[in-house]
């Protein structure tokens, strides 16, 4: 069985495919600094897309504090769990 984290990762891959022009393989270890297109501006769009797609709201400053995709996924998963429960 897929964990929630795996599901989130797959959906995140879809968002990356739609947002970025280059093909980017999304992994938990991936960080913004490794992707040329992922600058502070596209980051704003990415956060908005994730909120809309997953139906969640991040808290102020929360995403900025994450170091890589894995930590980002953890917040998404946690927020989704709270919605379910």
Partner 1 sequence: MSRELENSKISEAIPTLSKLLSNNKGAFWQSLINYTDAATTFNEMISLAAIRKKALKSGDIPMPSGLDSTLRIALIGGNSLYPLSSLLEHVVSLKIGRAEIFTGDFNNYRAEIVDTSSKLYQFNPDIVVLLPDNSICRYTGTINDLDEDIYKASESLGSDLFGLCSILQNEIGAETILCNYIPSPYFDLGPLRTRSLASDWNFKKLVNLYLGSKAPNFVHILDLEFLAYRIGGLASKDEKSFFESKQLCSPTLQVALAKEIVHIIEGRKASAKKVLVLDLDNTLWGGIIGDDGIDGIELGDTSPRGEAFKALQTYILSLTRRGLLLGICSKNDYENAIEPFRRHPEMVLREGHIVSFKANWKPKAQNLIEMANELNLGLESFVFVDDNPAEVENVRQFAPSVASILLGPDPSEYVRQLQDSRLFERSSITKEDLNRTDNYQMESARRSLLVSSLDMDSYLSSLEMVGTIKKFNKIDLPRITQLINKSNQFNLTTRRRSETELEDIMTNPSYTSFSLRLSDRFGDHGLISVVICRAVDDSVLEIDTWLMSCRVLNRQVEEVVFNEIVELGRTIGARKIKGFYKPTKKNSMVKDLYTMLGFDPVDSPQDSVEFELSIDAASHKATHISITGRE
By CB under 8 A, tell whether 7 contacts partner 1. Answer: no
Whole-angstrom CA distances from 5 to 27, 40, 76 are 11, 25, 9
| Residue tagged 């769990």 (tokens) | 81
By CB under 8 A, tell whether 55 contacts partner 1. Answer: no
Q: Give the one residue of 6, 10, 27, 45 binding partner 1; rule: CB under 8 A.
A: 45
* 63 Cβ contact partners less than 8 Å away, ≥ 6 residues apart: 47, 72, 75
By CB under 8 A, tell whether 82 contacts partner 1. Answer: no
By CB under 8 A, tell whether 78 contacts partner 1. Answer: no
By CB under 8 A, tell whether 21 contacts partner 1. Answer: yes
């Amino acid at each position: 069985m897929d964990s929630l984290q795996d599901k989130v990762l797959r959906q995140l891959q879809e968002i990356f495919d739609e947002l970025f022009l280059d093909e980017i393989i999304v992994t938990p270890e991936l960080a913004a600094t490794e992707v040329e297109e992922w600058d502070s501006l596209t980051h704003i769009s990415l956060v908005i897309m994730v909120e809309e797609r997953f139906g969640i709201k991040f808290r102020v400053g929360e995403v900025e504090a994450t170091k890589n995709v894995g930590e980002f996924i953890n917040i998404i998963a946690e927020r989704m769990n709270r919605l379910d429960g």
